[in-house]
Amino acid sequence: MSKYEAVCVLESQAVIGECPRWHPTERVLYWVDIFAPSLNRFDPVSGETASWEMPERIGCFGFRAGGGLIAGMQSGIWFIDLAPELALRRVFDYEVFDPDLRFNDGRVDPGGRFWAGSNHESFVKRAAALYRFDPDGSCTRMVDGLICSNGLAFSPDGQTMYHSDSRQDYVWAWDFDPRSGTISNQRVFLQIDIQEGRPDGAAVDAEGGYWICHVGGWHLARYTSEGKIDRVIGLPAQRPTMCAFGGADLKTLYVTTARNPLSEQALRKQPLAGNLFAIKVDVPGLPEPFFGAAD
């Protein structure tokens, strides 16, 4: 039995809560609700929250070194500024003619580039891809043949990139060059049994442990860098979507969850679905790199 306890810290009731990100200087957690669509902020000390309505579905984001955020949304990659008032500017047009395609999971790499993977809402068509957006404004299609890009994370030494497809039920590992942003030597890191929940959002801790949410499976799990499972933490919500380390010591694991596509009957049995959870862990996470600022 796990010694770790998932505690509900915010009754967000998100349709699809996703992409939690801890801001190291503001000491708050940002996250999105893809289908609201909204960008949200939570202060765990004061309990204060804020929410910004987005013009289209928002799947992922990272923090920019010069302030504000970079986000993968429905139509492309956007810069978002929150102060002095909300301002958005699209910096990459997705240029696809399929309304079922949108950006989904993503994050900033150790070299300060933004990676964003797309998702096809049919969950069948292999039309999605993983993109790399560089600080110079160039955008490169890096991985093709995906259905629902997910699980993106980087090892503590910056030499390995993890990436999954929630509908192919694999997590892959790639050799990663933090200087050039190139990837090579793709291999299977994990093969997920869908009876345990499909692979969703992920994070890596300071020891190289790969934490991933098993959406549909009521839990998240930690795998060693060798791909061996060593911790499983249950949640009172069937659909955990992504995890992120936060707190002053980065020893709080925040987990977003989803209500969609649960039926009304299922939701009556799990009233905490869609809420934000926190778990105290003993191994700290890694601080998130900022877009445009190489380590």
Beta carbons of 61 and 70 less than 8 angstroms apart: yes
Q: Is 7 exposed, middle or buried (0-12, 13-18, 19+ CB in 10 A)?
A: exposed
30 CB-near residues (< 8 Å, 6+ apart): 20, 21, 22, 23, 39, 40, 41, 42, 61, 69
> Could you confirm whether 200 is annotated as catalytic?
yes
Among the options 193, 200, 205, 249, which is catalytic? 200
19 CB-near residues (< 8 Å, 6+ apart): 31, 32, 59, 60, 61, 105, 106, 201, 242, 244, 256
| Active-site annotation, residues | 200
